[in-house]
Chain A
Amino acid sequence: MMNLFRTLFRKELLDASRDKRSVMAGLYYSVGTPLLMCLLFSVLFKQLSSSDELLISIDNADAAPALVQYLANKDIRHGEGDDVKAIRLVFSTDFQQHMQQGRPATVIIDTDRANDQLQTAIRRLERELGRYNSDIATLRLMARGIDPQLMQPVDVQLQDQATPDSRGGTFLAIATLSIILTLFYAAMNLAIDTSAGERERNSLTLLLSQPLNSLQLVLAKITAIACFSMLGLLVILLVSKFAYGMVPWQQLGFNISLNADFMLFTLLIGLPLALLSASLQVMVSFVAKSFKEAQTYVTMALLVPAGLSMVTAYNIAPDYLQWLPIAAQQQAMIAYLKGSTIAMPQLLVSGLLTLAIFAGCSYASSRLLKSEKVVFGL
């Protein structure tokens, strides 16, 4: 029994490892995704980072020279040309008079708040104007012999439990999403090849004519595919460690670093997922009537894990989803990276659920192989 499994498994592994195209397709994902994200993040950061000079249009600057100088000291200046953001700051003509009289002097920020690219710049401008407000108010009170602290009846002190590793938020979620999905995408081609492909090449009937039972065959295939999923996972972890190390996270005040412990943890919780992934894809491939059809169905089926992962990443998942496979594992990875507490009940339940689905899919596949329709693709 065990010998038979080993023989089947060894053959699947050998056959799959020689399927250069499928293996490479999987590895392209594992290698390419982190690199691509590294690139995307870097570009994004350039937009988000606020330490650079912010050029806007300032109308009627002569009306408020002190404020213009204040903004200039904060690297917010009037500019001309392409680098200027579509934000117009307009000082009312009576700005100086109102200032002198202690009445509010009007400043208009003319811009499009729906424009995502301007969000950071607008917030920065508003923040600096707010600080100028409080600066001037402070001076006005002091000039009257009043303690400016009276304007701050409540001293709000925020104590942030976040660590540099935990602030990544969305980026962290996207990074873990890409890592989790490797388990599915790295094995996709192999899974289709070893099932629908095997049938299309007529070797499936020969195999099934041999003295073995179909469950052994299915398990051997799933295990072999899971091995490649795990290889993909290992590769993406290593590449991610390298690639994310190059992203200047610290400019935004946080860090995403994948250490050896995290990698081991991820490999551990990824193992059941790899089995789930392989069994699901094999089952779907067998249900399909042809290789091409299998590709379509598997792609569609993978929308489910991708969706689960996505809602987890964007933190829009209802609570019960946190008990489901993929979502729970991803939460655990995020928690691990953030250094916060891992929700063990969820992780354990979803681990068991993952294995249950793996068992279910495996059994279903073995039943399918007893069906003439499936075996002959009728």
Chain B
Amino acid sequence: MNTLKLKYLCAAWPLVAATALLMPAAASAQQTKLITPQQAKPALTPCYAKNLTDRMLCGSIRRPLHANAPTQDASIDIHFAVLPAINPLHPQEAVLGFAGGPGQAAFDAAATFVHGLRYARESRDILLVDQRGTGKSGLLQCDSLDLTSQFALDENNLDMAAITRQETALCLDKLQVDLSHYTTVAAAADFEAVRLALGYQKLHLYGGSYGTRMAQEYMRQYPDAVLTATLDGVVPFNQSFGAMGAASDASLEAVYTYCDASPECRQQFPDARAQLQQLQQRLTAQTISTTVRHPRTYELIELKLTRAKLQQALRFALYSNRYRAMIPMVVEQASQGDYSALVGLMLAQDFAADLSIGVNFAVVCGEDRPFWTAQSQAEFTKSYLGHSWLQGAEASCNVWQVKPVAADYTVPLQTDTPVLLLSGGLDPATPPGWAELAMAQMSNARHLIAPHATHIVASQTCAPKLISQFINQQSASTLDDNCLKQELRHPFLTNANGTAMTAAAALQISPVSTPISDQE
């Protein structure tokens, strides 16, 4: 039965990889149970997040589950964490971080937020709130497959739509929840309640990936609470997650373009593109059954290699410049029947395990699917990932029955609050074009593109400094974005040990010679 679980993950995750990047590790928090009266300032207790040595202060507030009927008994404890400013020059302000997913817990990604906001933190608190349905704020999670089962799943020869429906029904049965209360629109009020409870007068927003949409929704509902907003890897209101298929394809194409331009890669993998196409066709036609070593236990396990698995592996690899450098080699080896490197790439999927399935589908089914048109569906179906995502989402949403948000949801945010939009030129999830869509009605916005960055620019570049400047100046107009242009792409792996390349190639100056690699 577990099997089916995987299905929705594969089919329906819109920005899961964003999550994987945003928080590469799960949280280990010292949980503190707090019951505080509504009015009183919430009690704060020291707590620690994964991979972050700094002491944070954690607390929670109780919130009604039903925004429109707050008298009903159902309530939810919204947990949050404050990382105190190093030198609190602006005690009335905080930087509120919105996590990705949808369904990622902000606290779990604390280390990533702190990295991106480390300069901003010099003078302002960082506030992280676990969105309702994620992390400690009532995580909506169902069991997921272990790696061995995932590998053994033959998507080509199963009725995936039926499995998805079945597994979704099981999950719904377990959670017993109406996901209509977990949409972006419904969650915004929780953030505002936390702000009021902690007594911050104004907030600076930082959203990553799906978090940018949460940030925009918060601005839409509480414009007066926001001084600035930084949107990193922008998800506009008027763009469906279905378009990520095309974005992923474009990002993959960029890998091959770069390979063509790199003498070592071109020499080592002269037929790289053709190899990929052949492999894709072959796996579409039939499943390759083989045995591989389990990446951790080293046991021999069964692998049913399918197009779905290949595409997922590539999709995750595209989020990181480090893994992008492996792609031509992985594809060539897989074409030749050696799947070890591909297994390595497939490991990235593990990262998404702690995502909230409930919030993910609340957003997909409540805010995305209602706005599909025949035309947009035809567009998404052009890419393999778009197509499979549409199918999975359709099957799941029919079970979840989330109430659609209001029809004006997709109207772009209109604001004169200063907004800084950041995009990575190689982003496989939220390409720069998405930011342009989001900022159509923003009168005080600036869009900066890091050409060689992937998803979440703040994790890869000098953006943390720019964000801090932007927050301090409350204007993006004078930011110097030169440092965003640095080369971030890694030299391609030409064998399992590393790279053979010359200085000239690395710096994209005209190639002179290719070192001889005498492989052992």
Contacts and interface: CB of A to CB of B under 8 A. Distances in A.
* Complex contact flag A–B (Cβ < 8 Å): yes
Interface of A: 61-62, 65-66, 68-69, 73, 96-97, 99-102, 135-136, 138-147, 149-150, 157-164, 249-251, 253-255, 257
Contact of B295 (A147, A162, A255): A147
Contact of B122 (A66, A138, A251): A251
Given A66-B506, A157-B51, A158-B53, A250 B496 contact: no
> Secondary structure at chain B's binding surface: helix, strand, loop or mixed?
loop
B322 interface: yes
B503 A144 contact: no
B519 interface: yes
A100 B86 contact: no
Interface string B32-58: 000000000000001010110111000
A66 B50 contact: no
Given A100-B518, A146-B344, A147-B296, A62 B502 contact: yes
A135 B322 contact: yes
B334 to A, nearest CB: 11
Contacts of A149: 296
Contact of B87 (A62, A102, A157, A164): A164
A102 B322 CA distance: 18
Nearest 4 A/B pairs, CB to CB: A142-B344, A145-B340, A145-B343, A250-B122
Contacts of B496: 102, 140, 143-144
B519 A143 contact: no
The residue in B292, B330, B487, B506 that gathers the most chain A C-beta atoms within 10 A of its C-beta is: B506
Interface in B502-520: 502-507, 515, 517-520
A164 B53 contact: no
Contact of A140 (B339, B498, B520): B498
B296 A100 contact: no
Given A66-B501, A142-B347, A144-B496, 10 more contacts: A61-B503, A100-B519, A138-B322, A139-B322, A143-B340, A143-B495, A145-B339, A145-B340, A161-B46, A254-B86
Given A66-B498, A140-B497, A164-B84, A100 B341 contact: no
B87 A96 contact: no
A81 to B, nearest CB: 21
Nearest to A149: B296
Given A101-B519, A102-B520, A96 B507 contact: no
B201 interface: no
B498 A255 contact: no
Contacts of A62: 502-503
B220 to A, nearest CB: 33
Contacts of B50: 157
A69 B87 contact: no
Contacts of A250: 86-87, 122-123
Contact of A100 (B28, B293, B322, B495): B495
A178 B325 CA distance: 56
B326 A142 contact: yes
Interface in B210-239: none
B329 interface: yes
Contact of A162 (B55, B345, B490): B55
A150 B48 CA distance: 24
Interface in B49-71: 50-51, 53-55
Contacts of B53: 158-160
A96 B519 CA distance: 12
A100 B494 CA distance: 9
Contacts of A163: 55, 84
Given A101-B518, A160-B53, A163-B84, A65 B502 contact: yes
Interface of B: 28, 46, 48, 50-51, 53-55, 84-87, 122-123, 292-293, 295-296, 298, 322-323, 325-326, 329-330, 339-345, 347, 486-488, 490-491, 493-507, 515, 517-520
Contacts of A100: 494-495, 497-498, 500, 515, 517-519
A139 to B, nearest CB: 6
Contacts of A66: 490-491, 498-499, 501, 506
Contact of B497 (A99, A158, A160, A164): A99
Contacts of A140: 496-498
Nearest to A51: B465
B340 A69 contact: no
A157 B498 contact: no
B493 A143 contact: yes
Contact of A159 (B55, B326, B486): B55
Given A69-B487, A100-B517, A159 B48 contact: yes
Contact of A96 (B292, B323, B515): B515
Contacts of B54: 160
A73 B490 CA distance: 11
A252 to B, nearest CB: 9
A160 B87 contact: no
A139 B493 contact: yes
Contact of A144 (B323, B340, B488): B340
A85 to B, nearest CB: 22
A145 B294 CA distance: 8
A251 B121 CA distance: 10
Which of A68, A97, A146, A161 lies at the interface centre, i.e. has the most chain B CB atoms within 10 A of its CB? Answer: A146
Nearest to B505: A65
B471 to A, nearest CB: 14
A162 B52 CA distance: 13
B55 A143 contact: no
Contacts of B325: 139
Contacts of B340: 143-145
27 contacts: A66-B491, A66-B498, A68-B503, A69-B487, A69-B507, A101-B497, A101-B520, A139-B325, A139-B326, A140-B497, A143-B330, A143-B341, A143-B344, A143-B493, A143-B497, A145-B293, A145-B340, A145-B341, A147-B295, A149-B296, A157-B51, A159-B53, A162-B55, A163-B55, A250-B86, A250-B87, A254-B86
Nearest to B465: A51
Contacts of A144: 340-341, 344, 496
A244 to B, nearest CB: 10
B501 A150 contact: no
A162 to B, nearest CB: 7
